[in-house]
């Protein structure tokens, strides 16, 4: 601990020295540099080293498992490769193929469909839950846990249970719906209703997680702000829009970005619930990539499709950053 303080002092001294400050502080501390074991360079080197050591496990993993494969993708996307031997360059052939690949178009559309419905739905529900569970509700710790439960449940088990709930004939969901309508949807067996069913399960799974993130954000808002707003005679709704939402912007931004990327990359849910079916009605981009690569052994073309997914995620995220910066200024 004392060393820490020493470091700070030395730094201060160095800074003073460098800027040519001859103030009393600088003058008094300057000799310390000579006395101390570390000179400025060594200190900053050591800090850099320690810093690098701390981030290295994550960073090495990121470089080896994410960055390098992603960079390689830009090469493999222009090749034909079955994972045996070396990729063989085939120019823009993959891209031409992509341009009239109907299954690819369908999967892009399905991914967008999923995201456009899933993102706002999850955000609104998670926010509403967070606000609700941030109030002085009796047993709120219990409800917070319950809301988080779906996120830690094994998706395979959950998908199985939801499959039973969605059963068109004997499932509880349709049994309930039959009280009101005579012909409830066929859910997972119907091309029109399979995607809504998947979205329902996706939302159910993720709401709890984002609720916790938003809850953490809500608790950082100083209560004085609400008290002041109350004194000004605002109602609850106004306080929500003019105090909560602006104060939550950093958290909301983070949630939006992770939620968006997560939605575009959705794979496990459709894989276990519908396997992309019926037909291609729930086939999303990530699953199409998985299929082309691992079922058909066509890694070149799979890389091409992956690049498109990467581009979509990138563009959407950049737009979000741009919008966030605009609001911040």
Partner 1 sequence: MTMNVKTVTKALAVTTAGIMLLAGCGGGGSSKQASSGSDGFDSKAKTTITFAGWSLDMTPEFKTLADAFHKAHPNVTVNVKQYSADDYDKQLTADISSGAQPDVFPIKNMLKYVTYSDSQGLADISDIAKSYQGNKYINLDGYEHNGKYFALPYRSDTWVLFYNKDMFKKAGVEEPNAKWTWDDYAKAAKELKEKLPAAGYDANSVYPMYMHNWQSVVQSFALAQCGKSADSTFLKADFSYMEPFYKRALEWQKDKYTIDWNTSFTNKVQYQAQFGTQKAAMMPMGTWYAATLVSQQQSGEAQKFSWGMAPAPQNPDKKLPKTPITFGSPTSLAISSKSSGQKLAAAKEFVKWATGQGGALELAKLSTTPAYIDDKVTETFFSPEGMASDQASKDAWSKHDMKMEAPVATATDTINSILKDTHSSIMTGAKSPSDGLKEATQNVKDQGVLDE
Query: Do residues 173 and 196 make contact, with C-beta atoms less than 8 angstroms apart?
Result: no
Please give the DSSP secondary-structure letter assigned to residue 187.
G
Q: Give the residue among 245, 244, 285 at the shortest CA–CA distance from 111.
A: 285
Q: Is 304 exposed, middle or buried (0-12, 13-18, 19+ CB in 10 A)?
A: buried
Residue 93 CB, shortest distance to partner 1, in Å, is 8
Stretch that binds partner 1, among 67-75, 183-191, 205-213, 217-225 (CB under 8 A): 183-191
Among 21, 190, 258, 317, binds partner 1 (CB under 8 A): 190
Q: What distance in Å separates the CA atoms of residue 193 and residue 183, rounded to the nearest whole number?
A: 13
Residue 279 in contact with partner 1, rule: CB under 8 A:
yes
Question: With respect to partner 1, which residue has the nearer C-beta, 205 or 291?
Answer: 291
Query: What is the per-residue burial (b if ≥16 Cβ within 10 Å, else e) of 264-275?
Result: bbbeebbbbbbe
The site that binds partner 1 (CB under 8 A) totals a number of residues, namely 37
Among 23, 24, 85, 233, binds partner 1 (CB under 8 A): 85
Question: With respect to partner 1, which residue has the nearer C-beta, 15 or 96?
Answer: 96
Residue 329 in contact with partner 1, rule: CB under 8 A:
no
Q: What distance in Å separates the CA atoms of residue 53 and residue 49, rounded to the nearest whole number?
A: 6
Question: With respect to partner 1, which residue has the nearer C-beta, 190 or 324?
Answer: 190
Question: With respect to partner 1, which residue has the nearer C-beta, 102 or 136?
Answer: 102
Residue 154 in contact with partner 1, rule: CB under 8 A:
no
Residue 163 in contact with partner 1, rule: CB under 8 A:
yes
Tell which positions 87-126 bind partner 1, by CB under 8 A.
Answer: 93, 97, 100-103
Residue 169 in contact with partner 1, rule: CB under 8 A:
yes
Q: What distance in Å separates the CA atoms of residue 67 and residue 58, rounded to the nearest whole number?
A: 12
Bridge partners of 88, per DSSP, are 80
Residue 167 in contact with partner 1, rule: CB under 8 A:
yes
Stretch that binds partner 1, among 133-141, 160-168, 218-226, 246-254 (CB under 8 A): 160-168
Residue 273 CB, shortest distance to partner 1, in Å, is 8
Query: In sequence order, which residues have a C-beta less than 8 Å from that of residue 30 and are 6 or more positions away?
Result: 13, 16, 17
If DSSP states are collapsed to H, E and C, what string results for 63-124? HHHHHHHHHHHHHHCCEECCCCCCCEECCCHHHHHHHCCHHHHHHHHHHHHHHHHHHHHHHH
Residue 196 in contact with partner 1, rule: CB under 8 A:
no
Among 277, 317, 320, 324, binds partner 1 (CB under 8 A): 277
Q: What distance in Å separates the CA atoms of residue 208 and residue 283, rounded to the nearest whole number?
A: 25
Question: With respect to partner 1, which residue has the nearer C-beta, 44 or 190?
Answer: 190
Among 191, 219, 220, 238, binds partner 1 (CB under 8 A): 191
> Which chain residues interact with partner 1 by CB under 8 A?
82-85, 93, 97, 100-103, 160, 163-164, 166-169, 186, 188-191, 274-281, 283, 291, 294-298
């Amino acid at each position: 601990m004392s060393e820490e303080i020493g470091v700070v002092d030395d730094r201060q001294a160095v800074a003073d020295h460098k800027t040519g400050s001859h103030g009393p502080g600088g003058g008094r501390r300057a000799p310390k540099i000579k006395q101390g074991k570390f000179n400025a360079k060594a200190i900053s080197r050591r800090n850099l080293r320690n810093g690098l050591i701390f981030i290295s496990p994550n960073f090495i993993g990121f470089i080896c498992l994410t960055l390098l494969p992603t960079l390689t993708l830009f090469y493999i996307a222009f090749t034909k490769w079955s994972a045996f031997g070396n990729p063989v360059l085939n120019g823009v052939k993959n891209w031409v193929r992509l341009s009239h690949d109907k299954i690819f178009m369908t999967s892009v559309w399905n991914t967008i469909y999923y995201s456009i419905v899933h993102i706002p739905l999850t955000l609104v529900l998670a926010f509403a839950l967070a606000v609700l569970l941030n109030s002085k509700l009796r047993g709120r710790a219990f409800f917070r846990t319950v809301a988080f439960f779906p996120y830690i449940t094994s998706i395979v088990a959950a998908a199985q249970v939801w499959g039973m709930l969605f059963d068109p004939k004997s499932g509880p969901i349709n049994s309930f719906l039959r009280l009101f309508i005579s012909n409830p949807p066929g859910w997972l067996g119907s091309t029109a209703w399979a995607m809504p069913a998947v979205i329902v399960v996706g939302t159910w799974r993720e709401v709890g997680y984002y609720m916790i993130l938003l809850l953490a954000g809500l608790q950082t808002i100083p209560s004085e702000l609400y008290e002041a707003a109350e004194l000004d005679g605002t109602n609850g709704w106004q306080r929500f829009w003019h105090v909560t939402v602006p104060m939550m912007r950093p958290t909301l931004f983070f949630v939006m970005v992770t939620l968006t990327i997560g939605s575009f990359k959705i794979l496990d849910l459709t894989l276990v619930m519908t396997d992309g079916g019926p037909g291609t009605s729930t086939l999303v981009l990530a699953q199409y990539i998985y299929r082309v690569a691992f079922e058909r052994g066509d890694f070149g073309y799979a890389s091409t499709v992956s690049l498109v997914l990467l581009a979509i995620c990138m563009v959407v995220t950049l737009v979000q950053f741009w919008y966030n910066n605009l609001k911040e200024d």
